Amino acid sequence: MIDNSSRSIRQLFIGVSLSAAMCFGVIGGAGGCSSSSEMINHSPSQRAEGIRQYEEGNYADAAGSFRQAIRSDPRDYKSQFYLAQSYENLKQYQQAIQAYKASLDAQPRTLAGKEDKEQQIATIKALASCIAKSDTNNAETNLIEQAAKNGKQAQDWLLLANIHRDRGDADSALDAYNRAALSDPKDFIVVKEYALYLEQVGQQQRAAQQLKKAYSLNQNDDQVNNALRRLNVIPGPGLKDERALVKPPLPQGPLPEVEWSKFRIGGSKPTAEATAAQPAASAAPAAPGQPAAEAPAMPPAAPQTSAPRD
């Protein structure tokens, strides 16, 4: 009895402890007893409050609101971005750099984030600008360059290109842009940014080539189309990759075999079957009761005479 009672008390104690732990955030993360969907639903309202405070110039309060939004939903890459902006306005550059990086890391975790290319390039440019003006000893720049060389990711090379661009180092920027394009030639954002920068630095021929590639990836981008027109290139289907053009329909699979015996080729003699099937051209049909008319005989050839001798 004592053992059974002790066992029951221990089970009851464990159950109460687990329930308390879940409510106080020990298990399942912070946020009390609310479900994950309720936690995420708080994020947009907290972000909206932070944006209002940011626009009023209350950067410290805005940063607090954005931090709360991120606690509610760590995948909220937009709140991470706005938090970085708040830190940057407070001249807390190191915190801003980390928040920008956290935004880039969180963005691919949702389907909406994967498709939000506009926000991605905005975050990359903001991070590059923050590093360019605050990384006086190049510690952060060197880390990014090393990560780009090791990982060979287009996003790292694009970030490095923008850092050099903001610092006015065109040669290093072009090299990084080129490496980004080589790392992922199908990334529209990378090809587009490379092409526009080539135009900006006056390399028109190379810019036209990259703009055509960008157009083949996305025909509806106004910046690409306007840049092509500035270079006297008219956007249209002719700029697409040949593999992307509509091809004429062709039969699928192997071609059927052809019975060449049914065809006469050149001056070859007709087959015996074909000859037998054709009626005699020279013989006229005989009337009923009359014998078949014979074909007229050819007249005999005239005898050859020798020439008279003198």
Q: Is residue 153's pLDDT more than 80?
A: yes
- The pLDDT value recorded for residue 275 is 54
Band the pLDDT of 286: cuts 50, 70, 90. Answer: low
Q: How many domains does the chain have?
A: 1
User: Average pLDDT for residues 153-166, to the nearest whole number?
Assistant: 96
CATH of the domain at 82: 1.25.40.10
Q: Is residue 302 part of a domain?
A: no
Q: Is residue 82 part of a domain?
A: yes
- The pLDDT value recorded for residue 191 is 97
Q: Is residue 111 part of a domain?
A: yes
Q: Is residue 121 part of a domain?
A: no
Q: Is residue 292 part of a domain?
A: no
Q: Is residue 220 part of a domain?
A: no
Band the pLDDT of 237: cuts 50, 70, 90. Answer: confident
pTM of the model: 0.65
- The pLDDT value recorded for residue 238 is 74
Band the pLDDT of 145: cuts 50, 70, 90. Answer: very high
Q: Which domain holds residue 109?
A: 31-116
Q: Is residue 39 part of a domain?
A: yes
18 vs 63 pLDDT, higher one: 63
Question: What tens digit of pLDDT does each residue of 187-233 get?
Answer: 999 999 999 999 999 999 999 999 999 999 999 999 999 999 999 99
Q: Is residue 17's pLDDT more than 50?
A: no
Q: Is residue 238 part of a domain?
A: no
How many Å apart are CA 296 and CA 248, to the nearest integer? Answer: 60
- State the chain's mean pLDDT as an integer: 79
Band the pLDDT of 298: cuts 50, 70, 90. Answer: low
